[in-house]
Amino acid sequence: MNTDITDQTPSILCSDVHKSFQSGEAVHHVLKGISLEIKAGHLTLVVGPSGSGKSTLLSVLSGLLAPSEGTVTTLGIDLWSLPANKIDAFRLQNCSFVFQGFNLFSSLTAMQQVILPLQYAGIPEKNAITQARETLQRVGLGHRLNTRPLTLSGGEKQRVAIARAMAKDPKLIFADEPTSALDSENGQIVIGLLHRAAREFGATVLCVTHDPRLLKHADRVIEIEDGVITNDTCGANTKTVKKERSV
């Protein structure tokens, strides 16, 4: 899957995306005309200072938050033209999420954490059990199948979350600060797993991060500040394209 990004049809295409929030008479413009293409089989990082719009962009592209203006075409579908129930169904079928806070259920074992979304996706129980076990083994937790979050380390919890995200072989994986609560060793393991999901399984992996340790693992780095893209670097040997900031 290590192919030239420029040779592929984008799995996500957004055009002139704006997002504003209103509080009383005040309007806060968070995204200011974002246009970009994201390809499958690559790990794409979105970086920038706090308040730059990174997480808002991730939410808009993943179907969690409607843009104020602009279009998002995902896997060939005009995402925000769909009714809410169809967007929910699209996310369930095609998307997985990894968050900073792990979002694990305290009463469920690692196996049960991974089985649950598979069952929601309509996968028969026997197949769900097999897929969950295989995916946990893939992330190095084959010996922790029946362990609950209370006795897992932070790195292990995030690997359970990644196994949960990967188990249904999603076309799209969205990660929001997946390594910020982890030490260096576990952070490297987690970003390696996300990169593997892109390279070996052909997923589109879009990751928002403050973590500079991740930059060397990325196939592409998109820098955002004050709601606009200021820099876009595709691959280690691809030239950097400077973006003019909007006034």
Instruction: With beta carbons less than 8 A apart as the criterion, state whether 38 and 5 touch.
Output: no
What is residue 241's predicted lDDT score, i.e. its pLDDT?
Answer: 40
pLDDT of residue 76: 94
pTM for this structure?
0.87
Domain boundaries, the chain: 7-103+170-242
Rounded distance between C-alpha atoms, residue 23 and residue 159, angstroms = 38
* Residue ranges of the chain whose pLDDT lies below 70: 1-8, 235-247
- Provide, for the chain, the percentages of residues in helix, strand and coil under a 3-state DSSP scheme, each rounded to the nearest 5: 35, 30, 35
Task: Give exposure, 22-44, as e/b (b: 16+ Cβ within 10 Å).
Answer: eeeeeeeebbbebebebbbbbbb
For 177-208, letters b (16+ CB in 10 Å) and e give bbbeebeeebbbbbbebbbbbbbebebbbbbb
Q: Which fold has domain 7-103+170-242?
A: Rossmann fold (3.40.50)
* CA-closest candidate to residue 32, choices 78, 70, 79: 70
Query: What pLDDT does 110 receive?
Result: 96
Which structure tokens are listed for 118? 């598979």
Cβ atoms 39, 13 nearer than 8 A: no
